[in-house]
Structure 1
Amino acid sequence: MRYAQRRLTCDQAGTKLFAATRLSLTLLCALVSSCFAHANPAHNPVQEYVLWYRNYDSPAIYALVTLALEKTPEYGEFRIIRSQELSQGRALRELGRGGTRMVDIANVATSAEREQFLTPVPVPVDGGLLGFRVCVVMPESLSLFEGIHSLDDLRERGVRIGQGDHWPDTPILRNNEIPVITHSRYEILFGMLRKHRFDCFARGVSEVINDLQMENDPEMTIEPNLVLAYPMPSYLFVGPEDQVTAHRLQLGMERAIRDGSFGVFLEQYYGAAVANLNLDKRTIIVLDNPFLSEESGSIGRDTLNNLRWRIELLRD
């Protein structure tokens, strides 16, 4: 596995990143008032970074990448560029090839396979919320979800879930014996939902509000009673040989965690979503994810348990 490292040993880096992840989760639930540290940038040529278009269009991910780059002024000035509209699978293939510059940075859910051919920065960008999934549905399908309280109920009801061909969620759901309907393009999946090709478009708690704002369809709604939960950290990824960008992003993330600005980011972009989705009033259905590397599995389980514990506290 290729992890971005500076002058830390592997063990030191793993320990530090794991501690940083725990800190990020604590910060998720508390508004931390601190300012960005703006240092004078080095007089280097402006470095352009091509960010996958779906991340570029996401206010949260764009802000996070900007934050990490701003925290590392010694690497020089930067400009973030929107990539072509590539499917997730195509974007990761281009990232893995290197040298094409079609994509330099992408934020996606991790898997053992992805960590083998790309370089991850192993800090969950949203505090682990991507692994908490709610259902975007059409109003006429809401009755299908009534009375579901367990994974067995979900299976017996025959709920079909829509996901991307290349998304890590797809094998996770199928491994848990849930029917999955797929397409290679994220945008097409909304049209498939309208045509009732499936019943639930499962979207992460950290992304669903922005999704619906972008789609701008008043008919679509969020099912109010269920959360599908599985360990699935979401990382920033770069190409396998692009160690300079990996180092910069990791250093920027670590600095943001230490000075509190990462906590401000989490609260600003995800705090309202967590509150508006009423997670404490939903039934949590936990699924197994056997497709993570050992380290990401540990991080994923820790974030999942931490978030479940916080939701339980809200119920008291």
Structure 2
Amino acid sequence: MKLFVCAVLSFALYSTVAISSPAPDDSVTVVQVPHMNRASSHLQYVHALLELSLESTQQEFGEFEIRYHSTETLPERQLKGLEVGEQFSVTVSHAKERWNNAAIRVPFPLVRGLASYRLFFTTPNILPALNKVSSLKDFYQFSFGQGVGWSTSRFLQDKHFRIVYGSRYEGLFVMLTANRFDLLMRSPYELTGEHVNLSQQYPSLTYSTRTAMLTYLPMYFYVSDKQPELAARIEKGLKTAFKAGQLDALYEKYFHSSLALIHSPELRVFWINNTNITTQQYLADKPYLLPSLIKQLEPHFVSHPQH
């Protein structure tokens, strides 16, 4: 029998999802998850996947308890928490070399490569120029807002684009609408969710449905190397859920509008190489990616292997 328990603990401020156990002991795997403040629903999907992966492997690996922290932790601090192995067990990130070296990357692309489509929030005065982009070179007329530690910063830097950094997620929207930079790069699911949730607060916030960059940008679970068995358990659970079709139902629930956006016939995409990724990594992920994305990615990895 499954029991869900939510509690706020004054010393740690986290909520708990427990399975058949009133209190953790040596036979219960405790999974501590950091909190990120985002105005889109993809993290709900990620949390649902985590729970599904643990539930489907319970017979083999035993009971588990997920503790979701309720105070926000920035990505770089999440990584430090994974390295120590006491504060956090698992978190989620796009692929980054430093993360691959500091934690265990679970080799399953959580959103099936959907974040590879890079769309942009902008302001009404910039939108006409963005809609007229006809090559990657045309993007050099714009400045890009980026968060500190974002994986997308690396390939923008590699191509020598102008980048303006913001230290906080919410502050980037303030900076964009104050014309501190021109474009704020987002995944399709971030774009749709954030526009619904933030457009009233930022009435000048707009975006293009016609222009996007395309790269390969997978999102993974990263697990503390203090818990290798947990990493193996999550991987097995995810791949089992994918083969059983359980992941498809969750995916459609959370990403229906995002899929409509990327499949729009008016959307034009312009390739930019992600130097965080190797061809070997792409090929390992390929069985789990969106078929429509594979068609667009394949020429770049087959004709020009990335090392």
Normalising by structure 2, report the TM-score: 0.77
Q: What does residue 250 of structure 2 align with?
A: 265
Structure 1 unaligned segments of length 5 or more: list them: 1-40, 312-316
1:64 to 1:219, Cα distance in 2 relative to 1, 3 A: farther
Match of 2:215 among 206, 230, 236: 230
Listed as ranges, the matches of 1:244-283 within 5 Å are 244-276=229-261, 278-283=263-268
TM-fit CA distance, 1:257: 1.0
TM-fit CA distance, 1:305: 8.2
Q: 2:295 matched to 1:309?
A: yes
1:77 to 1:98, Cα distance in 2 relative to 1, 3 A: closer
For 1:299 and 1:134, locate their aligned partners in 2 and report how far apart those are by CA, in whole Å: 25
Structure 2 unaligned segments of length 5 or more: list them: 1-18, 298-307
Answer whether contact 2:103 2:223 (CA < 8 A) is retained.
yes
Higher helix share: 1
Q: What does residue 15 of structure 1 align with?
A: none
Q: What does residue 44 of structure 2 align with?
A: 59
Q: What does residue 168 of structure 1 align with?
A: 151
217-226 or 122-131, larger mean C-alpha shift: 217-226
194-203 or 134-143, larger mean C-alpha shift: 134-143
SS of alignment partner, residue 284 of structure 1: strand
Match of 2:171 among 188, 204, 207: 188
SS of alignment partner, residue 288 of structure 1: coil
Q: What does residue 16 of structure 2 align with?
A: none
TM-fit CA distance, 1:201: 0.7
TM-fit CA distance, 1:83: 4.7
State, as a whole percentage, how many aligned pairs show the same letter: 22
Q: Deviations over 1:256-288 (max 9, x none)?
A: 011110122222212321104554321111001
TM-fit CA distance, 1:125: 0.4
Answer whether contact 1:227 1:285 (CA < 8 A) is retained.
yes
Q: What does residue 123 of structure 1 align with?
A: 108
For 1:279 and 1:113, locate their aligned partners in 2 and report how far apart those are by CA, in whole Å: 35
Q: What does residue 211 of structure 1 align with?
A: 194
TM-fit CA distance, 1:228: 0.9
The one-letter amino acid paired with 2:58 is P
Answer whether contact 1:231 1:304 (CA < 8 A) is retained.
no
Answer whether contact 2:121 2:207 (CA < 8 A) is retained.
yes
TM-fit CA distance, 1:73: 2.1
TM-fit CA distance, 1:230: 0.8
Q: 2:85 matched to 1:87?
A: no
Normalising by structure 1, report the TM-score: 0.75
Q: Aligned Cα RMSD in Å?
A: 2.7
1:225 to 1:308, Cα distance in 2 relative to 1, 3 A: farther
1:113 to 1:301, Cα distance in 2 relative to 1, 3 A: farther
Q: What does residue 11 of structure 2 align with?
A: none
For 1:65 and 1:216, locate their aligned partners in 2 and report how far apart those are by CA, in whole Å: 30
The one-letter amino acid paired with 1:76 is E
For 1:277 and 1:219, locate their aligned partners in 2 and report how far apart those are by CA, in whole Å: 23
TM-fit CA distance, 1:235: 0.3
Q: Deviations over 1:151-202 (max 9, x none)?
A: 11222xx111111110110011121232121123222211111111111110
For 1:138 and 1:308, locate their aligned partners in 2 and report how far apart those are by CA, in whole Å: 32
The one-letter amino acid paired with 1:51 is V
Match of 2:183 among 185, 190, 200: 200
Answer whether contact 2:108 2:220 (CA < 8 A) is retained.
yes
For 2:285 and 2:179, locate their aligned partners in 1 and report how far apart those are by CA, in whole Å: 32
Answer whether contact 1:42 1:73 (CA < 8 A) is retained.
no
For 1:305 and 1:180, locate their aligned partners in 2 and report how far apart those are by CA, in whole Å: 32
Answer whether contact 1:137 1:222 (CA < 8 A) is retained.
yes
50-59 or 70-79, larger mean C-alpha shift: 50-59
Q: How many residues align?
A: 267
Q: What does residue 98 of structure 1 align with?
A: 85
Answer whether contact 1:159 1:179 (CA < 8 A) is retained.
yes
Higher strand share: 2
The one-letter amino acid paired with 1:50 is Q
